[in-house]
Amino acid sequence: MFNKTFLLLLFSLFWLSGCGGPTVVREKPTIEDKVQFAENDAEKTFKQARDYYDKENFKIAALGYQKAADMGLPEAQNNLGFMFYEGKGVTQNFSKAKNWFYKAAEQGVADAQYNLARMYHIGKGIKQDLDQALLWYRKAAKQGDTKALYSLGLMNYMGEGVQQNFTQAEKWYREAAEKGEVKAQFNLGQMYHKGEGITQSFIEAKRWFYKAAEQGDIEAQYRLGLMYHKGDGIVQDFTQAEKWFRKAAKKEHAKAQSALGQLYYQGKGVKKNSSEAIYWSRKAADLGVSDAQNNLGMMYYKGDGVSKDLILAYKWVSLAAAQGNKKAVKGRNFLINELSVEQIAKGENLIRKWSQKQSKQNRH
């Protein structure tokens, strides 16, 4: 009996010390557990969170913004709303994004007012409400927010939530443009070019296109090049046209690529260069620009800068003709009379392959 009791006691001692007992698995502390945000200091916590955001550690940034937002800091509330809107460091949640934007907007944060207005404007994650969009855009615009000023211009121009009013659109665009908002600068240039709501002025159109183009706006760069190319209310200047077309073409603006190819083909503003003409025309043709497709087809027909190839000429001219390009329609009819049935069949096969390739690219 004594021996049995002694063995049971000995066994119990081994169990308590962990020998042979169940292994307790403790989770390793995460980086988030180790982060120490400032206690009861919303400003310091916000700055810490922003530093983590700048380092692209979004999960920790979201924790910091949440802590500062809970303490009532409006800037943190806006940033937390943005994190929920984008799904950065947190699960994307538009309802939470809206709520945090609203808290900050109510406290006068212009960025939050704009963000809330934008959600109502496009109806992303919430029901579209143009009246609410206008309300919050106006609040942000009163504080000089350029994006809000531009958006009010756009809504007046398009007649969204208000009756279409070019005069009001021009007013809002101008205020935003003078503060450096690139989209407003371009749109104001467009209004001057068309004479919408203001007296038509190509000089003013050029001035605003130039401001937007200098900030890297691709469409403004192309339009400025086009004005110089056509002499559209300004002195025609092919050198300047080439400069601005090239800037836009390098950023994959298809029409600018086509125009640049044409300049090289004609030797206007640049030394005539068939290789450059082919290069830029092919890029634009592959992006579907009918003028470039027709020009490329003609180069293949003539053997200008490339080996003469009537089948490739047929392919490119036919693709342009399918888009209603009048020159291409005539060129295709001419080629049909020139080519054999076998050559036309090969050309049609190339067209099918090109179209299938484009269709796949568009799906991706």
The rounded average pLDDT for each run of 10 residues, N- to C-terminus, in the chain (364 residues) is 41 36 47 72 95 95 96 97 96 97 98 98 95 98 98 98 97 98 98 96 97 98 97 95 98 97 95 95 96 96 93 97 96 95 96 90 74
Closest by CA to 181, choosing from 145, 133, 221, 138, is: 145
**CA-CA distance, 21 to 10, in Å (whole number)?**
14
pTM to 2 decimals?
A: 0.83
- The pLDDT value recorded for residue 32 is 52
Per-domain residue ranges for the chain? 37-142, 288-355
- The pLDDT value recorded for residue 363 is 74
- The pLDDT value recorded for residue 314 is 97
Closest by CA to 263, choosing from 289, 297, 228, is: 228
At the fourth CATH level, the homologous superfamily of domain 37-142 is: Tetratricopeptide repeat domain (1.25.40.10)
105 phi-psi bin (left φ>0, alpha ψ -120 to 50, beta other): alpha
